[in-house]
A = this chain, B = another copy of it.
């Protein structure tokens, strides 16, 4: 079983964002590409909002995998992206040392493709005593069956599977303190929340008219049953 010892906090975790390269984004289509891009950026900005250390890696960036997503890189101008010869981030000494340097034992991992770049270090680090999370919707695969297989594999191995919104919410913890991050990031990166927030603000601004019935002239009256 994989019951985490404690919740994620800004102080106890590090984000590993592995191989979010534009070549891979183009051909890993298990998730709609617009959603994938937004999930990755939302996840990255979560790290920024809570000042969580982020490590980034690439694999064959001058080949068909392409360079790191420019907008992703732009969020972390100070982070050195470590290119590595090893498929598994955890086998690369420079990468692993960078994790150790943070002194943190909870690794929040995303990567392209899930089945390889996210799954391999999650399993290896777990074997080395870390608590590892894979942010499934900030990852993608050649097809959805592969993601299903990988979720099952990770979960059975003891890795915690999660989503970028769940990570954001777990880190935010108290909406009085951190609600603005939730509001901003969901508005910017989840299609429905964007509309919900705009709608809320719209309704609020016309509420007086609504209640006075002024705004309702020329529009349908409120159905009786709903009053």
Interface residues of A (CB under 8 A from B): 1-4, 7, 22-23, 25-29, 31-38, 59-64, 66-67, 69-70, 83, 85-88, 91, 113, 115-116, 119-120, 123-124, 126-127, 136-137, 142-143, 145-146, 148-153, 155-158, 160-163, 165-166, 169-170, 172-176, 178-180, 182-184, 187-188, 190-211, 215-216, 218-227
Is the pair A165, B146 in contact by a Cβ cutoff of 8 Å? yes
A34: chain B residues at CB < 8 Å are: 32, 34-35, 38, 190-191
Is the pair A221, B146 in contact by a Cβ cutoff of 8 Å? no
A136: chain B residues at CB < 8 Å are: 145, 149
Task: Tell me if A's interface is mostly helix, strand, loop or mixed.
Answer: helix
Copies of this chain, complex-wide, total: 8
| Most-contacted residue by chain B among A64, A145, A204, A206 (CB, 10 A) | A64
A137: chain B residues at CB < 8 Å are: 145-146, 149
Q: Known A137-B149, A219-B62; judge A87-B176 contact (CB<8 A).
A: no
Question: How far apart sit A33 and B29, CA to CA, in the bound complex (Å)?
Answer: 10
